[in-house]
Amino acid sequence: MQIAATYDPEGFRDRGFVQAITDDGAEAGPARAVADLEAEVAALEESGGPRWVWPATADIAPALLRRGVRVDRCHDLALTEALLLAYEGHCGEPRSLGAAWARLHGLPVPEDRAEGTMAAPADNPTTQPALFEPDRSRLSADVDPLRAVREVYAEQLRRIAATANPGAFRLLVAAESAASLAAAEMAHHGLPWRADVHSQILEEVLGPRPLDGSPPREMVAMAARLAEALGIRALNPDSAAQVTKAFSDAGVKLPSLRRWELEGIDHPAIPLLLKYKELSRLYSFNGWVWRDTWVVDGRFRPEYSVGGVVTGRWAARGGGALQIARRLRKAVIADPGWLFVSADAAQLEPRILAAMAQDPGMAEATQSDDMYSALAGVFEGSRDQAKLGLLGAMYGQTGGGAAAPLALMRRRFPKATALLDDAAREGERGRLVRSQLGRTCPPPSQRWQSAIAGDAEADAADDSNRRSGQVARARGRFTRNFVIQATAAEWAEVLLALLRQQLRTLDGPQLVFFQHDEVLVHAPREHAAAVTEMIIQCATAAGRLVFGPSPVRFPMSVHSVECYGDAK
DNA sequence: GCAGTTTGCGCC
DNA sequence: AAAGGGCGCAAACTGC
């Protein structure tokens, strides 16, 4: 059964409307106004788990979770709209229910409300329900909201049926919707984070916390040593201009201040500069201010944005959730009696390539848990060369140390190479490419379009032609990588959706973190073994769902640990 | 003086 | 011959 549900766009956020609908979005019962939509969802969920068809999970799920309501399945109209718009070549157009409804009726389309930067938890404690969630449905007051849900849903089903592979697209929509539920649950649970351990790390590396907000002891000391090594009185190592000038005065020309460039330069001040950058990064990115802002009641609660990246990866706002520095993972410690089951897909992207391209040689290599080692023989006995060849092909690298392994890649894995080259060529011509399930890249930007068009302009200056070529090739690298990254992201979302279902059969384990190809489940100790088994099975099932019968293996590297820092 | 852009880092 | 894809964030820098 399916139930359309929406808040009253005009009223207080508790009020809403519900109505049973058929598989194709027609009315299957009376429309009902309810005084407390969340209570209504809870009751209906209790009595048999419908599929909820609603404007946006992100708008309702946090409130439901605060009231202890967990929803089994949904169809997220906004996320689906975004997938369909991209498929149809209109990536980036407004995707709210109101926008979709307006497009359907040829009316002016409202802009989406910005997702906005998340208020830090100190200002907006998640433990305290906000009086109003932002209404992102953008539905105008004179529209019957249930009618809008039904009509947009029915239209989406028609548009899905019109895609080249409706079954695949349906899976994509289901996975994306399930992922939106998982994201809300992870934000709700939060990642266990020990503020005291975090402080300990900071003090070991930076010295005691300065009380007045000035830079900590070790940074000041390193800056002083750096100045001394350069023979000057003082400098601000954060200022590129000052650093470049100081090295120049010392007779060293720096091509840039990138770490990998600096590492190739022989000067006694270079290691000091690198060390300073390391300290500075920790201090400014994950220092005491970060901890005070983002760690509340022993939990780090970022806000995830499902579909926030064009490739289908999640984005996160607030606290740099998807860039938790490895050294800080020591502060991620399970509650007493609990463990983290940490799982990451080993070498996901080359496996995705092997499955998409149905390349027999690469598929054979996926039988191994370490593809690169399995392929070392092909790459003159070097695991590193194998890795360079595979990654270089997927990222569109051409020169440098990758040239030789890329040539081998081309010769030994022609089907895989052809898939990537085709994607790159399509991109260079300004065309769209799609993932395995149908997620579609954005059309070329204005800059790309004029650059690609500029190629044809006979009287364009050489300089302009060269720039055009560069821009077109950059687009080619993007589309080349898009097909792989987007398919990897959807494989991971399918895995997450399956795992979320499985975990519901246990009492206790919670998804607390997801990062592209890695999941973290916080589980009572006695459930860790069962969770481990579930993850491994879900990975295999995800491969079958996304690719059908395929010899390609998707092994997971799974560890049960008390501390996330010990996971790898 | 403020807002937008650039640079560089680190995560995948 | 050849600048490897995606992101978020902080500080410096640039332009108005």
Q: Going along A84-242, which residue ranges are E strands?
A: 191-192
Surface-to-core class of residue A274, CB atoms within 10 Å of its CB (0-12 exposed, 13-18 middle, 19+ buried): middle
Residues 6+ apart with CB under 8 A from A450: none
- Contacts of residues A222-226 at CB distance under 8 Å and 24 or more positions apart, as own/partner, are A222/A272, A222/A275, A222/A276, A222/A279, A223/A276, A225/A272, A226/A269, A226/A272, A226/A273, A226/A276
For chain A, what's the residue count?
568
- Indicate if the pLDDT at residue A12 is higher than 90: no
Task: Dig out the tokens for A148 from the structure.
Answer: 């809008």
The pLDDT value recorded for residue A112 is: 85
The pLDDT value recorded for residue A344 is: 94
Question: Looking at this protein, which amino acid is placed at residue A415?
Answer: K
The pLDDT value recorded for residue A16 is: 94
The secondary structure of residue A566, as a DSSP letter, is G
At the second CATH level, the architecture of A1-189 is: 2-Layer Sandwich (3.30)
The pLDDT value recorded for residue A462 is: 55
- For chain A, residues classed under CATH 1.20.1060 are 195-294
Decide which of A327 and A353 is more confident: A353
A320: the nucleotide nearest its CA (via C1') is C8
- With H, G, I as helix, E, B as strand and everything else as coil, classify residue A534: helix
The secondary structure of residue A549, as a DSSP letter, is S
Q: Sheet containing A295-296: which strands, arranged edge to edge? A: A191-192, A299-300, A295-296
Q: Going along A466-555, which residue ranges are E strands?
A: 510-514, 518-524
- For chain A, residues classed under CATH 3.30.420 are 1-189
- Indicate if the pLDDT at residue A273 is higher than 50: yes
User: Is nucleic acid strand B under 7 Å from A165's C-beta?
Assistant: no
The pLDDT value recorded for residue A115 is: 64
- Please state the φ and ψ torsions of residue A57, each to the nearest 5 degrees: -55, -40
User: Is nucleic acid strand C under 7 Å from A246's C-beta?
Assistant: no
Q: How far is the CA of A388 from the C1' of B7 (A)?
A: 26
pLDDT, one tens digit per residue, over A287-322 is 999 999 899 999 999 889 998 899 999 998 888 888
Decide which of A450 and A489 is more confident: A489
User: Is nucleic acid strand B under 7 Å from A253's C-beta?
Assistant: no
Query: How far, in Å, CA of A416 to CA of A552, rounded?
Result: 13
A344: the nucleotide nearest its CA (via C1') is B12
Task: Dig out the tokens for A155 from the structure.
Answer: 């239209």
| Cβ density class A445-481: b for 16+ within 10 Å, e for less | eeebeebbebeeeeeeeeeeeeebeebbbebbbbbbb
Q: Point out the residue nearest to B11 (C-alpha to C1').
A: A323
Q: How far is the CA of A7 from the C1' of B5 (A)?
A: 40
Decide which of A414 and A446 is more confident: A414
Q: Is residue A20 within 8 Å of A29, Cβ to Cβ?
A: yes
User: Is nucleic acid strand B under 7 Å from A406's C-beta?
Assistant: no
User: Is nucleic acid strand C under 7 Å from A396's C-beta?
Assistant: yes
Q: Point out the residue nearest to B6 (C-alpha to C1').
A: A240
The pLDDT value recorded for residue A459 is: 40
User: Is nucleic acid strand C under 7 Å from A285's C-beta?
Assistant: yes
Q: Give the sign of the dihedral formed by CA A133, CA A138, CA A144, CA A150.
A: negative
Q: List strand B contacts in A 467-496 (CB < 7 A).
A: none
At the second CATH level, the architecture of A195-294 is: Up-down Bundle (1.20)
User: Is nucleic acid strand C under 7 Å from A391's C-beta?
Assistant: yes
Query: How far, in Å, CA of A267 to CA of A226, rounded?
Result: 11
Q: List strand B contacts in A 505-534 (CB < 7 A).
A: 515-518
Of A3-7, A9-13, A238-242, which one has max mean pLDDT? A3-7
The pLDDT value recorded for residue A127 is: 37
Q: How far is the CA of A317 from the C1' of C2 (A)?
A: 36
pLDDT, one tens digit per residue, over A369-407 is 999 999 999 998 899 999 999 999 999 988 778 889 999
User: Is nucleic acid strand C under 7 Å from A309's C-beta?
Assistant: yes
Q: Which nucleotides of B are covered by protein (CB under 7 A)?
A: 7-12
Q: How far is the CA of A101 from the C1' of B9 (A)?
A: 42
User: Is nucleic acid strand B under 7 Å from A264's C-beta?
Assistant: no
The secondary structure of residue A333, as a DSSP letter, is B
pLDDT, one tens digit per residue, over A416-456 is 999 999 999 999 999 999 999 999 999 987 766 666 655 44
pLDDT, one tens digit per residue, over A35-84 is 999 999 999 999 888 999 999 999 999 999 999 999 999 999 999 999 99
User: Is nucleic acid strand C under 7 Å from A470's C-beta?
Assistant: yes
Q: Point out the residue nearest to B8 (C-alpha to C1').
A: A258
A118: the nucleotide nearest its CA (via C1') is C8
- Indicate if the pLDDT at residue A9 is higher than 50: yes
The pLDDT value recorded for residue A118 is: 47
HSE-CB for A71 with a 13 A CA cutoff: 37
The pLDDT value recorded for residue A264 is: 85
Q: How confident is the model at residue A117 (pLDDT cuts 50, 70, 90)?
A: very low
HSE-CB for A90 with a 13 A CA cutoff: 10
Mean pLDDT of chain A: 90
Query: How far, in Å, CA of A308 to CA of A443, rounded?
Result: 17
**In sequence order, what are the beta bridge partners of A514?**
A519
Q: How far is the CA of A493 from the C1' of C7 (A)?
A: 17
User: Is nucleic acid strand C under 7 Å from A539's C-beta?
Assistant: no
Query: How far, in Å, CA of A329 to CA of A195, rounded?
Result: 12
Query: How far, in Å, CA of A235 to CA of A395, rounded?
Result: 38
Query: How far, in Å, CA of A415 to CA of A547, rounded?
Result: 16
A243: the nucleotide nearest its CA (via C1') is C12
**In sequence order, what are the beta bridge partners of A19?**
A4
The pLDDT value recorded for residue A493 is: 97
User: Is nucleic acid strand B under 7 Å from A256's C-beta?
Assistant: yes
Task: Dig out the tokens for A367 from the structure.
Answer: 């039988």
Task: Dig out the tokens for A237 from the structure.
Answer: 């190592």
Q: Is residue A180 within 8 Å of A76, Cβ to Cβ?
A: yes
Query: How far, in Å, CA of A193 to CA of A333, rounded?
Result: 6
**In sequence order, what are the beta bridge partners of A73?**
A51
Q: Give the containing element (helix H, strand E) for A264.
A: none
User: Is nucleic acid strand C under 7 Å from A318's C-beta?
Assistant: yes
- Indicate if the pLDDT at residue A274 is higher than 70: yes
Q: Mean pLDDT across the stretch A259-288?
A: 92
Question: Looking at this protein, which amino acid is placed at residue A333?
Answer: I
- Indicate if the pLDDT at residue A551 is higher than 60: yes
Q: Which nucleotides of C are covered by protein (CB under 7 A)?
A: 1-14
A284: the nucleotide nearest its CA (via C1') is C10
Q: Is residue A187 within 8 Å of A255, Cβ to Cβ?
A: no
